[in-house]
């Protein structure tokens, strides 16, 4: 039986007890960033000389605002990888320096992100055998550690492969590693993608305006869709699964699917827009993933910089698909197991990754050829359902919670479902869900013709808007959206970006 009170009395609890402290972070949506830091860095950059140095100093200050102690770890990572890059390029023992660099960067990630998890699980085994237990310290998780360590690994490997030359300026290296738009949650920007911008960049009024507009779009996606949807998501996932009907369980995981998409793509939009305002061109990170027609297609569209990273630095070095079906399948499972555990030190993330690995294995078999013959609506429906089932593992606090939630999805019954949905989804939340769904499943490209970027001379990928009426409509719409988003930023309790936890 559906328990209305059980749901309505649930408070928003920390997801995996790893939510970062929004009081100390300088979020892109926070008043201190919008009213103080952003105007400061824009004024400093355009009014003072030594632009690259000013970007480095203020980017380090941005990180230190939320991580005053861990700033020293970031500085050590910058200097260490700068020296390792030079050593790989100039030394006769290139492979040795590469291995040392890979070990050092992975050690940072393992110690701060996985040491406690590994020790706790090892103690389960040791305790069952009656052996002494290991100490299991809970170290603080540095903001963005998964992102800046992967970025460093790609830098060293690309030097070793001869794809790039090492950066000779420590200041430019510092900006590459610590540039504030991408420092905390990506996109995972490779050195060769912005090497030219680090050395020589110009900012035209058109590109600055296009960057500001992209930032406003991201701000609106975060504050008007992602953050509101966190309220029902926290409530539904915080309710005991036995109290969930099947419809409320489905709408809960669908809401989370929208929340994480609009949250992370919003951050990517803001990062790309801010970078453009300072003359940098970051790679795109999302391409309408919920319009995918297969799980393989989904991963071509979701967190694209991460997908390409695993392809180029793990899947292909493992052999890719060059050594037969069995080896290809093994490589896929290794990649997606690593993808899962990269997101967090929890068995649920590992299972989420293996779920996607299993789906890709099926799609590469004869079953995949059968799916390819389905009508478009069926292929999209299959993909969305498969992804939503995976999101249950991603969002659940532990394996038992995920299993119980999956049981509610398929066997939860229908008692009181409509009344419960109407109780938890007030008109504003229902509007956020419906608008988010419409934008996620296909309307966003059309919306970008109105709300998208101005034409610029330096990026052919920008949306061109030639119709004067459409241009005026776009400008007015952006002003209105920006005003509403800023009002929401001033009035709301700040929600950390979900990927800050990774």
Taking only the tens place, the pLDDT of each residue in 386-434 is: 999 999 999 999 999 999 999 999 998 888 888 888 888 999 999 999 9
Outline where 412-464 has alpha helix (H). Answer: 417-424, 427-438, 444-451
16: DSSP letter: G
Most confident of the following: 58-67, 82-91, 184-193, 461-470: 82-91
Q: Which of 1-10, 181-190, 354-363, 433-442 has the lowest mean pLDDT?
A: 1-10
Let me know if residue 75 belongs to a domain.
Answer: yes
What does the pLDDT read at residue 126?
Answer: 85
Displacement of CA 347 from its chain's centroid (Å): 19
**C-alpha span between 391 and 260 (Å, rounded):** 9
Instruction: Determine which one of 16, 240, 281, 343 is catalytic.
Output: 343
**C-alpha span between 270 and 419 (Å, rounded):** 37
What does the pLDDT read at residue 1?
Answer: 35
Average pLDDT of 198-225?
90
What does the pLDDT read at residue 311?
Answer: 95
The count of domains in the chain is 1
Question: To which H or E segment does residue 453 belong?
Answer: none
**C-alpha span between 421 and 417 (Å, rounded):** 6
pLDDT of residue 206 exceeding 60: yes
What are the percentages of helix, strand and coil residues in the chain, rounded to 5?
Answer: 75, 0, 25
pLDDT of residue 24 exceeding 70: no
Residue 12: pLDDT band (50, 70, 90) is: very low
| Cβ-based neighbours of 263, under 8 Å, separated by 6 or more | 221, 222, 226, 227, 497, 498, 499
| Cβ-based neighbours of 162, under 8 Å, separated by 6 or more | none
Q: Which of 235-244, 316-325, 433-442, 480-489 has the lowest mean pLDDT?
A: 480-489
Let me know if residue 467 belongs to a domain.
Answer: no
Q: 50-65: buried (b, 16+ CB within 10 Å) or exposed (e) per residue?
A: ebbebbbbbbbebbbb
Let me know if residue 42 belongs to a domain.
Answer: yes
What does the mean pLDDT of the chain come to? 85
What does the pLDDT read at residue 136?
Answer: 73
Q: Is 322 exposed, middle or buried (0-12, 13-18, 19+ CB in 10 A)?
A: exposed
Average pLDDT of 205-224?
90
Domain assignment of residue 151, given as a range = 31-202
**C-alpha span between 483 and 72 (Å, rounded):** 38
What does the pLDDT read at residue 443?
Answer: 58
Let me know if residue 111 belongs to a domain.
Answer: yes
112: DSSP letter: I
Between 354 and 25, the higher pLDDT residue: 354
pLDDT of residue 308 exceeding 50: yes
Average pLDDT of 275-280?
94
* Residue 343 annotated as catalytic: yes
Let me know if residue 100 belongs to a domain.
Answer: yes
Let me know if residue 98 belongs to a domain.
Answer: yes
Let me know if residue 88 belongs to a domain.
Answer: yes
**C-alpha span between 441 and 415 (Å, rounded):** 29
Q: Which of 332-336, 379-383, 424-428 has the lowest mean pLDDT?
A: 424-428
**C-alpha span between 435 and 119 (Å, rounded):** 44
Among 111, 120, 118, residue whose Cα is nearest residue 141: 111
| Cβ-based neighbours of 231, under 8 Å, separated by 6 or more | 12, 429
3-state secondary structure 164-195: CCCCCCHHHHHHHHHCHHHHCCCCCCCHHHHH
What does the pLDDT read at residue 491?
Answer: 62
Coil, helix or strand for 100?
Answer: helix
- Measured at the CA of 351, the angle between CA 131 and CA 383, to 5 degrees, comes to 180
**C-alpha span between 66 and 142 (Å, rounded):** 10
Q: Which of 165-169, 259-263, 494-498 has the lowest mean pLDDT?
A: 494-498
Let me know if residue 253 belongs to a domain.
Answer: no
What does the pLDDT read at residue 470?
Answer: 66
25: DSSP letter: S
């Amino acid at each position: 039986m559906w328990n209305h009170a059980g749901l309505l009395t649930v408070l928003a609890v920390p997801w995996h007890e790893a939510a970062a402290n929004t009081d100390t972070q300088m979020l892109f949506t926070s008043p201190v960033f919008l009213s103080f830091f952003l105007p400061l860095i824009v004024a400093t950059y355009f009014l003072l000389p030594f632009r690259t140095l000013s970007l480095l100093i203020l980017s380090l200050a941005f990180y230190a605002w939320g991580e005053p102690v861990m700033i020293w770890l970031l500085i050590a990572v910058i200097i260490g990888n700068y020296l390792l890059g030079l050593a790989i390029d100039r030394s006769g023992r290139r492979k040795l320096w590469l291995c040392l660099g890979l070990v050092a960067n992975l050690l940072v990630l393992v110690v701060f992100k996985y040491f406690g998890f590994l020790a706790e699980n090892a103690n389960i085994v040791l305790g069952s055998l009656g052996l002494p237990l290991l100490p299991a310290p809970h170290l603080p998780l540095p903001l963005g550690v998964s992102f800046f360590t992967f970025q460093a690994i790609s830098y060293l490997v690309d030097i070793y492969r001869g794809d790039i030359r090492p950066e000779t300026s420590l200041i430019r290296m510092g900006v590459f590693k610590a540039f504030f738009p991408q420092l905390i949650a990506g996109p995972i920007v490779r050195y060769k993608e912005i090497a030219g911008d680090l050395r020589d960049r110009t900012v035209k009024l058109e590109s600055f305006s296009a960057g500001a507009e992209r930032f406003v779009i991201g701000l609106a996606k975060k504050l008007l869709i992602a953050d509101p949807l966190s309220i029902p998501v926290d409530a539904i996932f915080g309710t005991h699964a036995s109290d969930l009907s099947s419809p409320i369980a489905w709408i809960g995981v669908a809401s989370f699917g929208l929340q994480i998409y609009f949250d992370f793509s919003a951050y990517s939009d803001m990062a790309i827009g801010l970078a453009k305002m300072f003359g940098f061109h970051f790679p795109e990170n999302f391409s309408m993933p919920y319009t995918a027609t297969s799980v393989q297609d989904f991963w071509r569209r979701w967190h694209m910089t991460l997908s390409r990273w695993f392809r180029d630095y793990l899947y292909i070095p493992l052999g890719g698909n060059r050594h037969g079906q069995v080896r290809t399948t093994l490589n896929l499972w290794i990649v997606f197991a690593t993808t899962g555990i990269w997101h967090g030190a929890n068995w649920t993330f590992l299972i989420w990754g293996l779920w996607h690995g299993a789906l890709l294995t099926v799609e590469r078999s004869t079953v995949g050829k059968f799916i390819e013959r389905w009508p478009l609506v069926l292929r999209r429906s299959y993909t969305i359902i498969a992804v939503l089932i995976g999101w249950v593992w991603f969002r659940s606090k532990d394996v038992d919670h995920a299993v119980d939630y999956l049981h509610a999805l398929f066997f939860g019954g229908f008692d009181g479902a409509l009344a419960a949905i109407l109780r938890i989804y007030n008109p504003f939340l229902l509007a956020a869900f419906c608008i988010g769904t419409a934008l996620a499943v296909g309307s966003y490209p059309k919306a970008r013709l109105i709300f998208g970027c101005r034409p610029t001379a330096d990026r052919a990928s920008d949306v061109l808007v030639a119709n004067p009426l459409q241009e005026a409509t776009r400008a007015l719409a952006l002003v209105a959206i920006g005003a509403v988003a800023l009002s929401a930023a001033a009035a709301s309790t700040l929600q950390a970006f979900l990927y800050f936890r990774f």
